[in-house]
Structures are given as structure tokens and as C-alpha cells.
Structure 1
Amino acid sequence: MDFQREYQDKLVTAKEAVRIIQSGDWVDYGWTTGTPVALDKALADRSEELTDVKLRGGILLRVPEVFKVKDVAQHFTWNSWHMSGIERKAIDQGFAYYSPIRYSELPRYYRESSCPNNVAMFQVAPMDKHGYFNFGPNASHMMAVCETSKKIIVEVNKNMPRCLGGFENSIHISKVEYIVEGDHPSIGELGGAKATEIDKQVAQLIVEDIPNGACLQLGIGGMPNAVGSLIAQSDLKDLGVHTEMYVDAFVDIAKEGKINGSQKSIDRFRQTYAFGAGTKKLYDYIDNNPEAMSAPVDYTNDVRVISSIDQFISINNAVEVDLFGQVNSESVGIKHISGAGGQLDFVLGAYLSKGGKSFICCSSSFTTKDGTVKSRLVPTLAPGSIITDTRANIHYLVTEYGKVNLKGLSTWQKCEAIISIAHPDFREELIKEAEKMKIWRKSNK
């Protein structure tokens, strides 16, 4: 088969490619760094001709051009599997909505859904000699997207890293309707928040519980990054990686020689991930790196897979935790922040792992824009808040004031443990509220 000839036959401009999109269509924009750029601009240019085009995607790193068109809600609706700050603003503008689902379920959802996409269009790495376009750091659910879309348009970007080592990480040219070559923009970056002193204190409490040979999963944010920095500076060795999201911290740990994957029971010597987003340092590291294993999310986040890896350590953030041990990592009341993601999968899987531990971490308090200091550990979650991990699922909870194992504790024990690591300024108030809720024993104090 002459793949180069087929390539030329399918090569069109972005303007020509998006002509196949009609009013009322479902159009998949891929995922994170794979979100289209040239095709997005061409579709925005057609906005006046289109109504009710429903777009799917998630974790946007750039503001799409379709978000900027006049009367956007009449033309496009954005449906996000997991939200970034860009998408949160779009909610307020009335044309974006979150699609609640455990991230690990996405491939199955696409394959079993009764409403497949009319068109999927996304960025890919240049075609290899075998006719394959690599998804870049977005294996995630992309094969399922391709299998269930009527038409596939790929936007080739020479700056997209080729992410290897796993499976379901490429699409063959024979499955593609059109090929577009854009301006080859740099890959969108996602810088982690700079670690605060509180982040570092929390990180220290977690790192002291990580053994040699542990397998790591880190979430996004200042605290997980602080953990990564401490690990990179530690004496830990023979660490492994099996994670939903590959972040810059893993690169730092690997370059310090702490990661070799030798103790993993599966995928030995490889760092396994569903998608990656970070800085250019990360993209350069995973490009053509056989140690970095790009795999679909229904594998990386499968509780059965996670639990099969001994000494699995899962580290994730929370927005707030109530005195019953319910974890909210998705919203502030009804104000949406991110999404369910894979946190629950890793909380469950890490606990089921032999010697494994799941850590939910947060600062004990935060300061609002008007300067008011509030506790992140609250009597009950605010109305409208989303429960990401139920009270039966939480394992370790960590703030700068300590670390407590909440698994299996009765309501009063759990309540006492949570208050013990709350900010001291709020403990008396929390005790009073706990008494009202009948989950406090006077003998405790």
C-alpha cells in the first residue's frame, strides 16, 4: 500500500474538511493537547451557517475559536468530560456543560452509546512509515472516539510528541476521511501551581509513608507537585509509575534516577499513563520514549489493574472534606471546578493494593478574595457540592496539621480524627457542629 499517495489523496484544507459538519451534529474535539487548532478556526468561520452543533472534549489548554463567535450558544454547545479554567468561564457564559462520568468509563461509554459522533477531529503526530498517526499524549479514550465516529479528520502537527509503549495510541490512515496540515503550533502547556509552604508541609507527611519500590499516581496541583519534588530529592529508589495523568513531577523524579519500574508486577520498567499535560519538558521527555507507556484510560484507571500492583501510592487533592469523611474535589457548592476524573478509581485501587495507600490532601484553610479565612474541613458539604469519594472510600487524609487514617472508623472516631488536623482556629466551632449532628463524644475532648 502506498501510504504517501493515500496521504496526498486525503489532504485538504481545514476549510474544506469542516464542510462535512452540519447543524445538529455531534463533533468530538479530542482531548487536552490534541484539541484541534486549524480545524477549530475553520469551524468558527462557518458559525453563521450552523446551529446546535454539539462539541465534546475536555481539559482545554487554549480558548477555542468557536468560543469567541457572536451569539455562541446559538451555534455551539461545549460538553466537557473534565474542565479546565477556560471551560469554567464558558459555563458562566451559558454554552458549556459538564458531562459527569468516571473517567475510566469513557471508552465503554463511546462504544456502547446510542449517539455516536458525526465527526471527530483532533491533532495528531505526523504519519509514520506504516501509515499510523499517533495520538500524542492522549491515548485516553481516543481509539473509542475513532471507532464510534462516522467521519475522522486528523490535523497533523509536527510538534506533537509520539507517545509509544502501550496500545490504542494511534489511528491508521485507512480510517481517516481527511488530513489537514495546520501551522504546527506549539503544544498547549499546563503549568502546575507553584508549591506553597503548606504544600511542602503536607508533602513531607506523605513522602515519609512512601516505601522503596512503591508505584506512584499523582494528581494535578501544587501539593502533588510538591510531593514529586520531595521524592526527587529523597533517598527513595526503584519507584514505578502507573497514573491517569503524566505530569512534570514524574520527569523530575525520573531524571534523578528514582524511577525504574523494576518492582512493578505488570508493565515492568515502564511508566504507564492515560494522558499527559505539562510543560515542554514533559513533552520532550515522553517523545519517542519507550519507557513511557501510553495506554487507554480503561486500562490505566481500572481498579482491578491498579490493585494488582503492590505498594500502590495514590495522591490527590480535595476542595473540601466534611466531618463524615465525604470528599468534594469537583465544585464549590454549585460552582463547577473540574470533574470526577479518576480520583475514585485510584482511591479504591490503591487501598486494595497489597501495602497500598490512598492519600487525599488539602490545606486546612483558604482565604477568599475579600480576605476571609475559611476552613476546608467543614461540618457538612455546602449545598450543591459534589461528593467525589464517599465516606466509606476515604483512606488517609492529610493537611499541614497532620495525617490520619480514616478507614473503618465509626462516625465519632472519624469526626475526631478529621478535627484533629483542622486549622486550630476552627476546631472549637467544628466540635460544636459535630455535637449537633450527634457524631461527637464529649469524652473525646
Structure 2
Amino acid sequence: MLCGQCAAEPLTLTRALVGAAAQIGDVEVFLGANFSRTFSRTSPPNLRFASYGALGTSMDLSRAGRLEVSQMHYSALHAAFAEGALKADVVFLQLREGPRGLSLGLANDYSALAARHARVVIAEVNAGVPVTTGADLPADIRIAAFVEAAMPPLDVPPAALGHVSEQIGRRLAELVPDGATIQIGVGAIPDAVLAALTSHRDLGLHSGVMTDRVLDLIEAGAMTDARKTRNPGAAVTNTLIGTRRLYDYADGNPHLMVMPASETHDHCVLRSIDRFFSINSGIEVDLAGRVNAERAGGQQVGGLGGIADFTRGARASKGGASIIALPATADGGRISRIVARVEAATIGPGDVDFVVTEFGVADLRLASVRERAGRLTAIAHPDFRDGLERAACGGGPG
């Protein structure tokens, strides 16, 4: 079975599934990016879990060896469910009754595509979900049963900002011009970047997610979507992940569109957007410019997701750029996140224009292999630079 992801998780249904697991036998549950604690390493053993990444709270399932991850880009995942190559027997959706019928509300993702091919679709109707532009439930989806939500949709507040993330945000904001259309994720680094963009003008959004921090930019007058070359005047996202404030803003708002991945993640769409800036993070970056967003210490702690879709779209965009931002160290400063060679190459060296840490910006455009290594070493934590220099010269990491 498959359930909605992010804030579109139908909590009444998913919690009922966990509660009744002992009575229903073995079930494989396909999860997306999770932000609730509904499913965990202590979930009943007859529930097996699969996903396109160990994303959000699903990371705990991965660390417990209970998550099977498929190596699929988000755009390919969308296509596989649309074509029926991937199928679910049962789909749980979260919906809202609107003036034109049922709305998908907080996510217009692969769940609706899976519902087209499912044997049974059960819908949780939640009055707290916004009716969003672009997210009408497709007319050909047949709902077998409706359940009234027993709780409001998931609330995901912005991340707390620390000194390092704020430094990174300020450095990255200098790379983004007025009038740019941005793609951004969820977490401390994306939130710090958005907080640093409040003095910009006429920014636009075309992204996989929209959060409360994006709404801050809209309310500050920094994001108007006025100069977008596609869907001008409207922010475009695949999912909404935030609080009641964001959901109220989205309700019936024609200037915010919740669109399928065929619009938000498609390469031809992305390359058609002038000044498209993709802003993503990673676990580590190596001296060639490869980015690992999947594995750490031999464990799956991320996934392919949409990072390759967005970075390649941004590099193909007129005036656009692909940016990777991450702290220089992990584990209290004991591990460098600029490394000689990544554990897994989620995106290649040709997919990144800039890498940003709290120590600076590495411009990888037109850089040779030697220049890349030097520029990336320069933005590593000083404690690790000597070892990286030796590695770049062929002497090992030191």
C-alpha cells in the first residue's frame, strides 16, 4: 500500500493502519519524505517499508534496517507511477472538499498517479487542508471509502537557525540575483538561505516544496514571481510543508500553484525558466565536485530525490545556476564534509556550479580538475585542508 507523503500524510488512516497491523497480515508500505512519527523502528514487524529515499523521519527506519530504498530520481518515480510500471494495491489519500470538487491540497505528487492504478483508494477528508490551485483530484480516480479526519494536517515548523547555517545563507544569497526563480528544500540550510534573501526583489518560486520561510519572503515583498518566464505571478510547488499559516495562505490562492512533478521536476520545463537557481544540500562533496546525498557510514541516510532533476535543469537554464550548500564539518567538527572521494555520487561534477560552506564559495564553472580541488579545499574547515591538499596531489587523505 502507499500513503501520501510530507504534510499530505493522511494521519487518521496511517495511524489506524499501525494500530490494526496485527489483524491485517504482512503489508509493504511505500513512504515518501516523512515528517511524522507514525512509522518508526518500533512499528509492528509485519509492516515492511519501501521508499525512494531515507528522507525525514524515514531515516530512522533505514538505520534500523527496515527501509528498502529504490534508486529513482523523483521525475522518474512520477513517470513510473503514471505509466503503471509501479503500482500499489491500496492508496491512502488526504483530500479536502472544495468549490470545484475534491482537492489534493498539500501535495500533487505520485500518490494521485498511483491511485489511478490501485485496486482500492481510501480518502481521508480533512477540513484543515487548503484547497489549492492546480491540485484538483483527477476525475478518473474512484474512491472506495471516505474517512473524516480526526486531526488537523501535519504541522512542520521552520528549522531553528544557527550561526553556521546563517553564515552559509548569507554567502549563498550573494550568488542569487534579483528576478531569479529559485528551487529550495527543507531544513536548517534552506531556511537560512531563505532568511538571507529578504532584501532581494522579484524572486520567484518553482520548487518541489514550499515552506513557511518562503511565505516570509512573499510577505517581505522579496518574492513576487513577477519576472518568472513560466507561470508568471504564481509560486509553483509540488508539495506544501509548513504550519497553519502557510496552509491558510494557500487556501484558494490563485498565486500559489500545487502542480504535479511533470511540471515541477521536468527537465524541459526547468530549462525553459530563465534565471533558474537550484539550491540544495548534501552529505558530502569531494574534490572533483561530486555530491553525495544518499549514504553516510555505509548506511542509507538520504536518496536521489529531485536533486539531479533540479541541478541539471538549473545548469541548462539561461542565466541559471546549480548551488550546493553544506556545513564544512559534521559530528561536532570531527568529520570533514569536503572529502577526497564521496561514498556515493548522487550527482556528478558536471552538475554543480557553486559549492558553499561557512568558509566561502567554490566556483566550479569552467574549472579544471586541479582548480576544482584547490577551490573546494579552500572552503573546507582549516583543520582538514592539509589532508585534502595531500589527497589532491595523490598522497592519500592523510
TM-score by length of 1: 0.84
Write out aligned runs for 1:266-305 (5 A). 266-305=230-269
Q: Which of 104, 121, 126 is equivalent to 2:75? A: 104
Q: Secondary structure at the match of 1:33?
A: helix
Map residues 21-100 of structure 1 onto 2, 5 A cutoff. Answer: 27-64=1-38, 69=43, 72-73=44-45, 75-100=46-71
Q: 3-state SS of the aligned residue for 1:201?
A: helix
**Structure 2 CA distance, aligned partners of 1:68 and 1:288?**
39
Cα offset for 1:256? 0.8
Q: Is the 8 A contact 1:106 1:298 kept in 2?
A: no
1:116 aligns with 2:82: no
Aligned-partner SS, 1:175: coil
Larger radius of gyration: 1
CA pair 438-176 structure 1, distance change in 2 beyond 3 A: same
Match for residue 254 of structure 1 among 207, 212, 218: 218
Q: Report if the CA contact (8 A) 2:26-2:47 is conserved.
A: yes
Q: What amino acid maps onto 2:98 in structure 1?
A: D
SS in 2 for 1:436: coil
Q: In structure 2, do the counterparts of structure 1 residues 146 and 255 end up closer, same or farther at CA, with 3 Å as the change threshold?
A: same
For 1:417, the aligned partner's letter is R
Q: Using the alignment, how far apart are the partners of 2:140 and 2:41 within structure 1? A: 30
Question: CA–CA distance in 1 between the matches of 2:138 and 2:42?
Answer: 30
Summarize deviations over 1:319-366 as a string: whole Å, max 9, x none. Answer: 111111110122213222222111111111111111111110111123
Deviates more, 1:276-285 or 1:294-303: 276-285
Once residues 23 and 315 of structure 2 are traced to their aligned partners in structure 1, the CA distance between those partners, rounded to angstroms, is 52
Cα separation, partners in 2 of 1:44 and 1:391, compared to 1, 3 Å:
same
Q: 1:220 aligns with which of 186, 196, 199?
A: 186
Contact kept, 8 Å, 1:333 with 1:386, in 2: the verdict is no
Displacement after TM superposition at 1:409 (Å):
2.2
Find the aligned partners of 1:192 and 1:57 in 2 and give their Cα distance. 22
Structure 2 unpaired stretches of 5+: none
1:238 maps to 2:212:
no
Cα contact 1:314–1:346 (8 A) shared by 2: yes
CA distance in 2, matches of 1:182, 1:339: 31
* Worse-superposed segment, 202-211 or 86-95: 86-95
RMSD: 2.2
May I ask how many residue pairs the two structures share in their alignment?
Answer: 397
The answer to whether the aligner puts 1:180 opposite 2:147 as a matched pair is yes
Change (3 A) 1:33 1:438: closer
User: Where does residue 23 of structure 1 map in the other structure?
Assistant: none
Q: Is the 8 A contact 2:55 2:303 kept in 1?
A: no
* Corresponding residue to 1:327 among 270, 275, 291: 291
State the Cα deviation string for residues 90-123 of structure 1 (Å, max 9, x = none). Answer: 2233432222211122221113344521111122
2:63 aligned with 1:128: no
The answer for the alignment partner of 1:12 in structure 2 is: none
Alpha carbons of structure 1 residues 269 and 80: separation in structure 2 relative to 1, 3 Å: same
Match of 2:334 in 1: 373
Q: Distance in 2 between matches of 1:65 and 1:333?
A: 23
Q: 32-41 or 241-250, which moves further after superposition?
A: 32-41
Q: CA deviation at 1:133?
A: 1.8
1:268 deviates by: 0.9
Please, which of 141, 150, 169 is the counterpart of residue 119 of structure 2?
Answer: 150
Separation in 1, partners of 2:258, 2:201: 23
Candidates 411, 427, 430, aligned match of 2:369:
411
Partner of 1:138 in structure 2?
Answer: 107
Identical pairs, percent: 28
Closer, same or farther: CA 409–109 of 1 in aligned 2, 3 Å: same
- C-alpha separation in 1, matches of 2:71 and 2:386: 36
Distance between the aligned counterparts of 1:240 and 1:115, measured in 2? 33
Structure 1, unmatched stretches of 5+, are: 1-26, 440-445
> What does the per-residue CA deviation read over 1:395-426, in whole Å, with 9 as the maximum and x for residues that have no partner?
11111221122133221111111111111221
- CA-CA distance at 1:154 after TM superposition: 0.3
Query: What is the rounded CA distance, in whole Å, between the counterparts of 2:112 and 2:82 in structure 1?
Result: 10
For 1:168-206, what per-residue CA distance to the aligned partner results, in whole angstroms no more than 9, with x for missing partners?
Answer: 5424497211111131x1221223432222222222222
Alpha-carbon distance in 1 for matches of 2:123, 2:41: 21
Match of 1:21 in 2: none
Q: Which amino acid aligns with 1:316?
A: N
**Is 1:339 the equivalent of 2:303?**
yes
Q: What residue is the counterpart of 2:279 in the other structure?
A: 315
